[in-house]
Amino acid sequence: MSSSRFFTLKEARLSNNCPECYSNDGIELTFKQKFTENAFYKAITADVINEMHCINCDTQIFPIQWTDDIESVVDYQKRALQPKPKSVKLKPLAWLVIIIDLLLLIGIILYSTGVISF
């Protein structure tokens, strides 16, 4: 029932040479942040990933293939990245469960102290 997915934070076109096709205008770097949702809440986590692919040769470029130039540009882009802050938003079902639990707790306390008797 729980689902996690990533949404795009930032896309950047790099002018470095592709390690596969050696073109210097087709590398695209994408930063994505994790978003989790289930029946009770929606949450943005602090998990940020990056993906790099070449548009010209349509291949994904993995970190093992990065040159020193590509790595320095990726480090620069990471420092310039502004991820969304971690957040949690409760859904109506979660609020309903919390309110019912509070009412039950108050009822149990009042019954055990003798304020309410059945």
**DSSP secondary structure, 50-94, as one string:** EEEEETTTTEE--GGG--HHHHHHHHHHHHH--PPPPEEEE-HHH
Answer whether residue 94 shows pLDDT above 80: yes
Mean per-residue pLDDT over the chain, rounded:
91
Answer whether residue 106 shows pLDDT above 80: yes
Mean pLDDT over residues 67-96, rounded? 92
18-28 per-residue burial string, b: 16 or more CB within 10 A, e: under 16 = bbbeeeeebbe
What's the whole-model pTM score? Answer: 0.77
Q: Which H helix or E strand runs over 49?
A: strand 41-54
The CA distance from 92 to 95, in Å, is: 5
Q: What is the model's pLDDT at position 65? A: 86
The CA distance from 99 to 43, in Å, is: 21
